[in-house]
Structure 1
């Protein structure tokens, strides 16, 4: 039954594909279960049902644990990258892109799922502005398709080159844009002449149509005598196809000398940034204003196009800096807990010592007459992260918090993951006043992380409760933890000083 689902997605019969994927999502056969959940996730992305993304991504990764095949891991990570991008989480998106590429490169025996994994990765790269990577990934998809005998027409992807073209124009390289658009138009003409165009996906025909009318809007009007873009733009039933139709009508109005109509259409157009980049609407508005002679408005619109088109580049630069900081945190953490690498004593997610080792550590400390202040650190807003963004995102948050805690601890302090979203810090030979200074450092460091780049809309903060262990306090972790946990819960209900 699953054999035809990819064709359903290809032909924009997305609702049918979703139904089949849902029907087989809990099949007994692990491979069938994985594939069904992959197709279900792909269908939800095509239908833009964002509230269901997190659960679908979690379900796909859960199924992969029973059938850990690299090509399927690669495809799920590629699809998860798209969901993260739509949520505005560029950091998670890039994380998934890298993991997808690594997984797909590890495939030894290729199959159709591998080919479509590279295809999905190429589109994910393209949506996020990594156009060079997108072109390389689609070439890899075609190589795999050729090896296993899949139709070459299935891997025609004009949308990737189209997004590259308009990205160049939005950033000021109109000559480069025109060259790519002309190549697309020539490709379309060749496929029309051979009859191959009718065999391509509906969304691809819409992409060819938009390439032609976009080129006409840039002043190359004779293309409209060579290709009529309007029937091509009518193809496709997806959100992207709707976007291309809306943008295409504005381009056509500019090309045939009706720029005021184009401005009016653009004022009411609701278009996803994913389709042609965030700068496409203001760039078309600039072209329309030039045609009316309103150069001041054209200049303002062009500046806006360049600004929003460059925003992701700036975010990627910030992400690179954050990524370097996070890597240093992880490296320091690995150095610090190297002596706890015994699997029984280490939390596998964060690399921190676990509850078992914490108890051994405290018993040894107290047994030698030492004392410490124990802090229970609980994340605020973490439940919403799992609900909105999925458990994989929750795991990344926990790893990030582990790195932050390690960064702000003093030499000789001890950090462990107690369980769930609770961490324990142990501060030997420390006064209450010193502990509260450490608390200030921890809460400030957690609040200072760019959670909006990782889990947009779900800010993370931390609340800490303290208890003394040894020297008049409890001598057992469980008792001290209970005392600190109660203090932490009281702190959550007490308004913090501003």
Structure 2
């Protein structure tokens, strides 16, 4: 993740600190850059300064693989930026949020990426902040395997940087084309891979001194040459490119893979196999790359049977990545369709004063009016208080943005599970209320069981991996609409009693 030279807002008092962050990052000291960003965020009072520091911190945390710390930082950054119009910063935040969310939920990732593009496109003219944000957006697309989207965006960033007079190595992204190239080889197109790797070496060798690239990009550029040589193609390798110190998983993976390719080219396939002693991060060059390099080593050793088996593993890994991506896209589309269906069902609630803006459900005021109409019509009903179990854990582990998405999906499930003519509203926080007109309590309990089952069966791993989402429901008779507070209290007591019996936490 990249760092701009310019600052947003009145940062005169912190200019030296931002310069130091850039210098530390340039030298590969991500941990030192994080400490400096923390000092700025703690001392600054301007929201734009704080947010800039947090953006820089997020990129460094990701580079070090400390992604578990990112949701809280994202929540803080979005909060301090909430009432400011800063498209470059907001777009950059969404670009970073996208890659951080990708490991757990492609749906959340794509939402962030689309929002990032919208924010950045709303800014007139190229600025360095826009270039840097699009730079990280291109890297995110590349990590996810959306190579056809990443490549033109990376080229656009470079050309915009050049138009602004920025150093030629600062916005170069050879990694995007290298990642695309090896993905071709994983699926059997070694010739296409070699052509693209040669393009990387020729293009970036002409545009800049590769030693002026950022540390990780130096490794990717060097790997293009090493990988060509492992394929039996001639290529010059500058060992200086692999001497830059950089902390994090990406460079560690590239060192291992480049070392194995170097051994193959030097006629030492056994040494290459010894080097390939662990899997790599899927974002580096895909999960298939170690298998493919292992196949090249076996082939160089004359062990063609083992080479074929390693190639089969590479193909399996590559297609498995595609399959997982497809499944996650389907999950995301299903959720989106659910939410669109929910929006259509509440179009009748024209007044925003009666609709919860997050979920699209009727709000508490609308609920009160609905029950009042039941009273006027003399209709009895069953009232259900629906509470999410352990919702605080979702917010703590994944952040409030993910919590909002969980609330939206639960709302969609409630709307499609209840019967036609039933009513459901968001009462507040993580609590919903359902009204079942002309329904006895035994029937209400059966409907409640259906709701609980539908929520439990949701594919929550697509949103909050490893954190199950469930609801507990308490029911009470609304025989006297004028006694609504008492009915709600009875339903709430019934809900809490069921939670105690099940051992479920509230909220």
| Fold agreement, TM-score > 0.5 | yes
State the 1:184 CA deviation: 1.9
Q: Does 1:69 align with 2:86?
A: yes
Write out per-residue CA displacement over residues 394-416 of structure 1, whole angstroms, 9 at most, x where no aligned residue: 11111111111111121111111
Which stretch of the first structure deviates more once superposed, 100-109 or 135-144? 135-144
Partners in 2 of 1:181 and 1:147 — Cα distance? 26
Which residue of the partner structure matches residue 332 of structure 1? 341
Give me the whole-angstrom Cα distance separating, in 2, the residues matched to 1:149 and 1:231. 27
- Equivalent of residue 203 in structure 1, options 194, 216, 236: 216
The equivalent of 1:57 in structure 2 is: 74
C-alpha displacement of 1:371 = 1.4
Cα distance, 1:65 vs structure 2: 0.7
Match of 1:163 among 165, 179, 186: 179
Q: Which residue of 2 aligns with 1:493?
A: 500
Verify: 1:82 aligned to 2:99, yes or no: yes
For residue 272 of structure 2, what is the aligned residue in structure 1?
262
TM-score, normalization by structure 2: 0.90
Rounded Cα–Cα distance in structure 2 between residues aligned with 1:410 and 1:56:
41
Structure 2 gaps of 5+ residues are 1-13
Per the alignment, do residues 188 and 35 of structure 1 end up closer, same or farther by CA in structure 2, a change over 3 Å counting? closer
1:466 alignment counterpart: 475
For the residues of structure 1 that align with 2:136 and 2:198, how far apart are their CA atoms? 25
Aligned mate of 2:399, from 373, 390, 401: 390
- Maintained 8 Å contact 1:329/1:406: no
Work out which of the residue numbers 109, 129, 153 in structure 2 matches 1:113.
129
- In structure 1, the residue matched to 2:262 is 252
What's the offset of the Cα at 1:361? 1.2
- 1:357 to 1:188, Cα distance in 2 relative to 1, 3 A: closer
Alpha-carbon distance in 2 for matches of 1:148, 1:430? 68
Cα distance change of structure 1 residues 126 and 10 upon mapping to structure 2, 3 Å threshold: farther
Aligned length, in residue pairs: 485
The answer (yes or no) to whether the contact 2:279–2:287 under 8 Å persists in 1 is no
Segments ≥4 residues shifted beyond 6 Å: none
Q: How does 1:363-374 map to 2 (within 5 A)?
A: 363-374=372-383
Residue 252 of structure 1 deviates from its aligned partner by: 1.4
User: For 2:24 and 2:124, how far apart are their aligned partners in 1?
Assistant: 27
In 2, Cα distance between equivalents of 1:143 and 1:341: 47
Note the C-alpha offset of 1:490: 2.3
Q: Which residue of 2 aligns with 1:48?
A: 65
Residue deviations 1:148-198, cap 9 Å, x none?
A: 33223211111111111111111222111111111123345546xx7x223
Give, in whole Å, the separation in 2 of the partners of 1:105 and 1:493: 51
Distance 2:231 2:37 in 1: 43
Matched with 2:55 is 38
Q: Which of the residues 96, 113, 119 maps onto 1:103? A: 119
Match of residue 213 from structure 1: 226
Shift of 1:386: 1.0
RMSD: 2.1
Following superposition, the deviation at residue 15 of structure 1 comes to: 2.8
Cα 1:308–1:475, aligned 2, differ >3 Å: closer, same or farther?
farther
- Structure 1 stretch displaced more, 476-485 or 410-419: 476-485
Partner of residue 275, structure 1: 284
Q: Which residue of 1 aligns with 2:7?
A: none
Q: What residue in structure 1 maps to residue 460 of structure 2?
A: 451
- Report the 3-state secondary structure (helix = DSSP H, G, I; strand = E; otherwise coil) of the residue aligned with 2:348: helix
Quote the Cα distance in structure 2 between the aligned partners of 1:110 and 1:219. Answer: 42
Pick from 168, 178, 187 the counterpart of residue 194 of structure 2: 178
Q: Equivalences for 1:402-441 in 2 at 5 Å?
A: 402-441=411-450
In structure 2, distance between residues paired with 1:410 and 1:36? 50
User: Contact between 2:332 and 2:462, CA under 8 Å: does it hold in 1?
Assistant: no
Structure 2 CA distance for aligned equivalents of residues 7 and 145 of structure 1: 19
Runs of at least 5 residues in structure 1 that lack an aligned partner in the other structure: none
